[in-house]
Chains A and B, each alone.
Chain A
Amino acid sequence: MAGRLYTKTHEWLIVDGKSVTVGISDFAQAQLGDVVFLELPNAGRKLEAGESFGVVESVKAASDLYAPVSGRVTAVNDKVAGKPELINSDPYGDGWILKLELTGELPKDLMDEATYKQLTESQA
């Protein structure tokens, strides 16, 4: 199992074989502020890399969520849907959003921790 990867749109993913777990980064949750609602897809939906699959609504604004890879939704975190503040309190743990079954290759522009850190430091 590889380390956590990141997208330019601030989703994180962990790839374990064909299974990909997706959430939003600590930087993103801090920028959004208190999350109050998540609009999420149903299990079974097929997503293309870069496709908007849901909305995270914070007190400040609504932001789209984008699929980091192409795949089929195998699980949605019901716990975070019912308790959206988990996105703020535990973005890399209980705040995971969904799991995908990877179809195709990983996009080339995914970032590792160090590269993502550089990106967020330039945006902070």
Chain B
Amino acid sequence: MVDFGGWELPQQYTSIRDEHLAVRRVAGLFDISHMGRFRVTGDGAFDFLQQLLTNDLSRISYGRAQYNLMCNPQGGILDDLVVYWGEEGFFVVVNAANREHDLDWMRSHAPAGVQIEDRTLELSLIAFQGPRAEELLPATGIDDLPYFGFRPAEVAGVSALVSRTGYTGEDGFEIFIPAAHVVAVWDAILENGSGHGVLPAGLGARDATRLEAALRLYGNDMDETVNPYEAGLGWTVRLDKGAFVGGDALAQVKREGPKRTLVGLKTSPGDIARHGATVLCQGRPVGNVTSGTHSFFLGHPIALAMVEVASLRVGETAAVDVRGRQASAEVVQLPFYRGSARSAAAPAKA
């Protein structure tokens, strides 16, 4: 068990390797109840979120979810989050470590008439992810759910809210269930999938799969000192939607161009470049690793690094500090791996 934003979570249930491969080949079940869940309601809820977040909510509608960022007035990323537009209003799912800060920030910006309720403890959240997730989830009413769609459905006989979203690069679902029922639903999903290779998957598998899919991790790949363009998340910033917090600063970054950028690195087996490791180009430091792990699926270590813009191009060889020596690293295209997630409906990359 490890402490993760104040929650006790398993690094692995059995083995990171087995869990990681189960997610890529069949499906894995993640407990992501540590993530903060807020309900935002009231007549002004849409306008409030539209003015607080970087993406344009008018591009989605009821029954859809959207990846979004919350920035400070300087354009630094306060959090990355997903907004789910449902019949009960908006759900906003944020990173566990930022939950209290986000809640304070949102409440301090909310006009009268907008209510923000922290539902984290009453409403559990689990994610079922993998190429066979649709087939192996014991649920009704999900087969025609589009990518980033969100609707009520029965999961293992329990009324839940289900979205076709995830953090692994695979097809799959995130399932909101009243906390009183989550254990029964969890057990039912595992029992239904046990003969097919479905496994419960811990933080280790979650980190490896999200990194292969080049999905950014708040606190590692981005924080308040990083703007969305540097993080490669410019596609979530809609400068044409009207005023929003951080909009002016981000318009300036876009005009001038970001000074740093995230790149993908591939290293030799054993050379795991860890968070903070210096990246060098022809002997000159150009940035630091933000996330790195061994990919059991790809068979070699992978890393994301924040480097000076244009210092490293795909196909070039860089060096990265591994245990005090310089290891060779190939600059590769992101994502490292494109899974079964329904990318047709995914937003284009910036």
Residues of A with Cβ closer than 8 Å to B? 33-34, 36-39, 55, 57, 59-62, 85, 88
| Interface bits B161-178 vs A (CB < 8 Å: 1, else 0) | 000000000000000000
- Provide the residues of chain A in CB contact with B204, threshold 8 Å: 33-34, 59-60
Are B11 and A57 in contact (CB-based, < 8 A)? no
5 contacts between A and B (CB under 8 A): A34-B12, A36-B294, A37-B294, A59-B204, A59-B293
- Provide the residues of chain A in CB contact with B274, threshold 8 Å: 61-62
Knowing A33-B204, A36-B294, the reply to whether A85 touches B270 (Cβ < 8 A) is: no
Say whether B208 faces chain A, with CB atoms less than 8 Å apart: yes
- Provide the residues of chain B in CB contact with A60, threshold 8 Å: 11, 204
Q: How far is the CA of A9 from the CA of B204 in the complex (A)?
A: 24
Knowing A57-B270, A85-B17, the reply to whether A33 touches B294 (Cβ < 8 A) is: no
Identify 10 new A-B residue pairs, CB closer than 8 A, beyond the known A34-B16, A36-B269, A55-B323.
Answer: A34-B296, A36-B270, A36-B272, A36-B301, A38-B270, A57-B272, A59-B208, A59-B294, A60-B204, A88-B15
Are B272 and A62 in contact (CB-based, < 8 A)? yes
Q: How far is the CA of A83 from the CA of B301 in the complex (A)?
A: 16
The residues in B between 77 and 93 inclusive whose CB is less than 8 angstroms from any CB of A are none
Task: Choose among A37, A57, A59, A61 the residue that contacts B16 (Cβ–Cβ < 8 A).
Answer: A59
- Provide the residues of chain A in CB contact with B272, threshold 8 Å: 36-37, 57, 62
In this complex, what residue of A is CB-closest to B272? A57
- Provide the residues of chain B in CB contact with A36, threshold 8 Å: 269-270, 272, 294, 296, 301
Residues of B with Cβ closer than 8 Å to A? 11-12, 15-17, 204, 208, 269-270, 272, 274, 293-294, 296, 301, 323
- Provide the residues of chain B in CB contact with A34, threshold 8 Å: 12, 15-17, 204, 296
Q: How far is the CA of A34 from the CA of B208 in the complex (A)?
A: 12
Are B323 and A33 in contact (CB-based, < 8 A)? no
In this complex, what residue of A is CB-closest to B16? A34
Q: How far is the CA of A82 from the CA of B154 in the complex (A)?
A: 47
- Interchain nearest-CB distance for A36 vs B (Å): 4
- Provide the residues of chain B in CB contact with A38, threshold 8 Å: 270
- Interchain nearest-CB distance for B295 vs A (Å): 9
- Interchain nearest-CB distance for A54 vs B (Å): 11
In this complex, what residue of A is CB-closest to B301? A36
Q: Which 3 A-B pairs rank lowest in CB-CB distance, beginning with the nearest?
A: A37-B270, A36-B294, A34-B16
- Provide the residues of chain A in CB contact with B17, threshold 8 Å: 34, 85
Interface centre among B17, B269, B274 (most CB of A within 10 A): B17
In this complex, what residue of A is CB-closest to B202? A33
- Provide the residues of chain B in CB contact with A59, threshold 8 Å: 16, 204, 208, 293-294
- Interchain nearest-CB distance for A82 vs B (Å): 10
In this complex, what residue of B is CB-closest to A55? B323
In this complex, what residue of A is CB-closest to B294? A36
Knowing A36-B272, A37-B294, the reply to whether A62 touches B323 (Cβ < 8 A) is: yes
- Provide the residues of chain B in CB contact with A85, threshold 8 Å: 17
Interface centre among A36, A38, A55 (most CB of B within 10 A): A36
Knowing A55-B323, A62-B323, A85-B17, the reply to whether A37 touches B269 (Cβ < 8 A) is: yes
In this complex, what residue of B is CB-closest to A37? B270
- Provide the residues of chain B in CB contact with A62, threshold 8 Å: 272, 274, 323
Are A33 and B270 in contact (CB-based, < 8 A)? no
- Provide the residues of chain A in CB contact with B323, threshold 8 Å: 39, 55, 62
- Interchain nearest-CB distance for A2 vs B (Å): 32
Interface centre among B12, B272, B296, B323 (most CB of A within 10 A): B272
- Provide the residues of chain B in CB contact with A39, threshold 8 Å: 270, 323
- Provide the residues of chain A in CB contact with B15, threshold 8 Å: 34, 88
Q: How far is the CA of A55 from the CA of B325 in the complex (A)?
A: 13
Q: How far is the CA of A3 from the CA of B173 in the complex (A)?
A: 51
Interface centre among A37, A55, A59, A61 (most CB of B within 10 A): A59
Q: How far is the CA of A39 from the CA of B12 in the complex (A)?
A: 24
Q: How far is the CA of A55 from the CA of B16 in the complex (A)?
A: 20
Q: How far is the CA of A96 from the CA of B315 in the complex (A)?
A: 39
- Provide the residues of chain A in CB contact with B294, threshold 8 Å: 36-37, 57, 59
- Interchain nearest-CB distance for B20 vs A (Å): 9
